[in-house]
Structure 1
């Protein structure tokens, strides 16, 4: 699969051959669903468990007589209304950290890349070397026809571009190691640098 490479200024910079193993896979909605669900569940925090009535160390002796005390007839210090008593209906530990096979995660990433390529929403740029100004970045995005995009660079993100894009809404920048299914699908356009393409294809071969 061949695709035209652009500069960040929207000029042509040659062509690049994309690997079918990474950018030419059949769409698998079931795989995408599994990976996105796994990612979102991994983000959820686990509640800290509270000790309930049966778990606190308080005396079970009756506090006073059944009648004549002039107050409620309490039977246990572990009741929730007492200081040191157990929590009534407190938070319980729930597991939001399910596992997912590495093979499925990798397949999900390549499927998401293939979906963007098949929809014509994949752009490959030579690099992200640009002046570190928001106005300059917005002008470059306009030249590429981008309103919402995820930029994926090589091992390290171009600092000037990252600074310039920090205040631009609907635009995110990631190093190639941070490429993930949720962020790819959550943006209209995916923009890869040559370095990102090389690294992603190396992952398929490794």
Structure 2
């Protein structure tokens, strides 16, 4: 299998990584798990036993309507919650084989939909937004994910002020970024690195 390099030759790649069938169920499971793992899970509410307040009977037993004791009960304003939320982890188990399989499936679908573009190189001399906008104009990319072989600080700083343009390196590639990207631009070196990783 070959991928076309913009303005150049073709790049030979593995059929098993860039030509795999799309598995929607696997991709969905991995994307949901990835997003769930990013949740802080720190929400906390107080039960009636944790609320600060007197437990003395608030009024006499008879003649005052509803019979009740402590004002820390859930039915009163300022009382505890009946089913209070507590800190918890939202993490879902996804093994390495599933994760890599989902990435291969997403990348293959991007190739089929002509949303993945291979370029020889994407760099800017200085961390200036104007320089990157000129480069993106040449590539005709308004909303894009740019994948480089390794961290490029100049490119990252130039892109962070442009809406819908994100920069990442091949080692930090994740399924959510790939799914959300309208177009993905990868350097030749990053394609080779991803192929090594997912082989």
TM-score (ref. length: structure 1): 0.79
The answer for the alignment partner of 1:201 in structure 2 is 195
Specify which of 98, 122, 125 is matched with residue 119 of structure 2. Answer: 125
**Count of aligned positions:** 197
Match of 2:40 in 1: 45
Q: Which moved more, 1:191-200 or 1:131-140?
A: 131-140
Following superposition, the deviation at residue 145 of structure 1 comes to 2.1
- How far the C-alpha of 1:45 sits from its partner, in A, is 2.8
> Are residues 1:2 and 2:18 paired?
no
Alignment partner, residue 115 of structure 1: 109
Measured after TM superposition, the shift of residue 125 of structure 1 is: 1.7
- The answer for the alignment partner of 2:130 in structure 1 is 135
**Gaps in structure 1 of 5+ consecutive residues:** none
Taking structure 2 as the reference length, the TM-score comes to 0.81
Give the structure 1 partner of residue 18 of structure 2: 23
Give the drift of 1:60. 6.0
Gapped runs of 5+ residues in structure 2?
none
8 A Cα contact 1:49 1:93, kept in partner: yes
Shift of 1:39: 1.8
Residue 179 of structure 1 and its aligned partner are, at CA, apart by 0.7
CA distance in 2, matches of 1:181, 1:101: 14
Distance in 1, matches of 2:129 and 2:28, equals 35
SS of residue paired to 1:3:
strand
Distance 1:82 1:117 in 2: 57
Work out the CA distance in 2 between the residues paired with 1:55 and 1:167.
Answer: 45
The whole-number CA distance in structure 1 between the counterparts of 2:136 and 2:166 is: 12
Q: How does 1:63-102 map to 2 (within 5 A)?
A: 66=61, 75-76=69-70, 78-79=72-73, 86-87=80-81, 90-93=84-87, 95-102=89-96
Question: Contact 2:119 / 2:185 at 8 angstroms: preserved in 1?
Answer: yes
C-alpha separation between the residues in 2 aligned to 1:167 and 1:52?
Answer: 44
SS in 1 for 2:48: coil
Say whether 1:151 aligns with 2:143: no
Counterpart CA distance in 1 for 2:101 and 2:54 is 57
